[in-house]
């Protein structure tokens, strides 16, 4: 079965579907799900792997309900389900308002309001419903929605807070992360297609290719940055598709940014000031040239850029980075580092600090097609698969 996963990965790469994942503007054909294999771990990591939840829908992230401690699981098709350790129950159906024309569209992010117990509000991030043929008509939406006293999402109460125009269907980002003091981060891709055709990555005056920082109070968002020369919501820019990011216990932000031709990268950033991560002048440490090879030494230094702390290439079946958590919880062998994986190969790594900086260590494989990571009810590390399975690592 591992050979099948790698074969499909190679077919995806040969079809130009690299680095999350398609440039096509035609109607998108979703890949067929694959049956996963047993997890395999490197000898230095004494870990166990079990099936946590089996589902037919594609889940990709989880958050903990602060009211009852249950796990809310977010699905690309717009469903939200609650897991109490024994059974799944549907708490929301947003499928009528989200686009599913492309594998990178759908319900992409969710975060509970910091004052949820009183406000009953959650923030959601999604690509709005639109036609699947012809030019993209679906934009990335940040919205709020009320949760009923019965614990269900009331779709009639959606309030749109911010809308980012998407020229193409791919590279939407969409991750939401609360960081305290009523502040939130929102990841947004470069607008899509390939090669960043509109040069959004190096344009801090719009939100494409960025991580936004905003305050949310009384069902209203506002910029946190007060001295910006560009878009006041833009904290960091020069990103291609920051599908996931995580805050460590020192307040530093770990960003997994999906590459295009050659390099998948992990960036480390402060939230105290704006940083430029280089896309599309750079891919990894290399000058980006769409038709050039991956091993040429084209790495002129640009002083105002922030370079990755780690990169990996499209070899051994790798194609697209999936972040990731800073582990100050979970299985003991994984604590004190940043865990991330690859969509196509299913490989899992951890970055840990050493005398030489940050070093990547191979942890193992969860069987392939990793679309997200999560935190279980008992602090287990969860891995979400394109196939619908949620795997538990302990």
Sign of CA dihedral 323, 329, 330, 333: positive
**Domain carrying residue 113:** 2-393
Residue 37: per-residue pLDDT = 56
Alpha-carbon gap, residue 107 to 77, rounded angstroms = 6
31 or 142, higher pLDDT: 142
Q: Is 94 helix (H, G, I), strand (E, B) or coil?
A: coil
Strand locations in 113-152 (E): 121-127, 140-147
Residue 367: per-residue pLDDT = 80
Alpha-carbon gap, residue 280 to 201, rounded angstroms = 6
By CB atoms closer than 10 A (0-12, 13-18, 19+), residue 383 is buried
Comparing CA positions, the residue from 109, 1, 55, 111 lying closest to residue 390 is 55
Alpha-carbon gap, residue 224 to 232, rounded angstroms = 8
Query: Of the given ranges (51-65, 69-83, 120-134, 281-295), which has the lowest mean pLDDT?
Result: 281-295
Segment 113-139 shows an average pLDDT of 97
Average pLDDT, the chain: 90
Sign of CA dihedral 234, 237, 243, 248: negative
Q: Are 247 and 253 in contact (CB under 8 A)?
A: yes
With 70 as the cut, is the pLDDT of residue 242 above it? yes
Residue 175: per-residue pLDDT = 98
Residue bearing tokens 């990571």:
373
Q: Which helix (H) or strand (E) is 2 found in, with range?
A: helix 2-14
**Overall domain count for the chain:** 1
Q: Are 348 and 366 in contact (CB under 8 A)?
A: yes
Residue 343: per-residue pLDDT = 95
Residue 1: per-residue pLDDT = 33
What is this structure's pTM?
Answer: 0.92
Residues above pLDDT 70, as percent of the chain: 89
Comparing CA positions, the residue from 211, 213, 209, 191 lying closest to residue 201 is 209
pLDDT in tens, 104-113: 999 999 999 9
Alpha-carbon gap, residue 368 to 219, rounded angstroms = 39
Residue 368: per-residue pLDDT = 74
With 80 as the cut, is the pLDDT of residue 102 above it? yes
With 60 as the cut, is the pLDDT of residue 3 above it? no
Q: How many CA atoms lie within 13 A of 44 on its CB side?
A: 6
CATH number at residue 199: 2.120.10.30
With 80 as the cut, is the pLDDT of residue 8 above it? no
pLDDT in tens, 208-227: 999 999 999 999 999 999 88
Residue 74: per-residue pLDDT = 98
């Amino acid at each position: 079965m591992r050979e099948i996963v790698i074969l499909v990965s190679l077919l995806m790469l040969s079809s130009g579907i690299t680095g999350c994942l398609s440039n096509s503007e035609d109607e998108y054909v979703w890949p067929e799900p694959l049956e996963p294999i047993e997890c395999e771990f490197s000898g230095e990591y004494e870990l166990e792997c079990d099936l946590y939840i089996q589902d037919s829908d594609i889940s990709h992230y989880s958050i903990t309900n602060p009211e009852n401690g249950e796990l809310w699981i977010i699905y690309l098709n717009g469903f939200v389900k609650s897991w109490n350790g024994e059974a799944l129950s549907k708490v929301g159906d947003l499928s009528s308002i989200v686009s599913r024309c492309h594998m990178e569209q759908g319900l992409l992010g969710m975060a509970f309001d910091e004052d949820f117990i009183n406000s009953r509000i959650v923030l959601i991030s999604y690509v709005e419903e639109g036609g699947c043929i012809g030019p993209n008509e679906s934009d990335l939406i940040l919205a709020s929605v009320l949760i009923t006293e019965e614990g269900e999402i009331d779709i009639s109460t959606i309030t749109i807070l911010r809308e980012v125009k998407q020229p193409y269907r791919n590279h939407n980002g969409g991750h939401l992360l609360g960081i305290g003091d009523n502040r939130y981060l929102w990841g947004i891709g470069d607008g899509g297609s390939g090669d960043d055709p509109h040069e959004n990555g190096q344009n801090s005056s719009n939100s494409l290719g960025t991580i936004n920082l905003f305050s949310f109070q009384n069902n209203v968002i506002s910029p946190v940055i007060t001295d910006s020369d560009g878009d006041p919501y833009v904290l960091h820019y020069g990103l291609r598709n920051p599908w996931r990011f995580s805050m460590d216990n020192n307040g530093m932000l770990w960003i997994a940014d999906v590459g295009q031709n050659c390099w998948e990268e992990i960036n480390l950033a402060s939230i105290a000031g704006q940083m430029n991560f280089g896309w599309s002048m750079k891919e990894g440490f290399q000058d980006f040239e769409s038709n050039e090879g991956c091993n040429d030494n084209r790495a002129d230094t640009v002083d105002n850029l922030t370079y990755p702390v780690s990169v990996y290439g499209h070899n051994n079946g790798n194609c697209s980075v999936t972040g990731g958590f800073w582990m100050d919880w979970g299985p003991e062998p994984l604590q004190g580092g940043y865990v991330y994986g690859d969509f196509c190969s299913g490989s899992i790594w951890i970055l840990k600090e050493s005398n030489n900086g940050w070093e990547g260590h191979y942890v193992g494989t969860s069987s392939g097609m990793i679309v997200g990571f999560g935190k279980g009810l008992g602090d287990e590390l969860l891995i979400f698969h394109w196939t619908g399975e949620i795997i538990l690592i302990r």
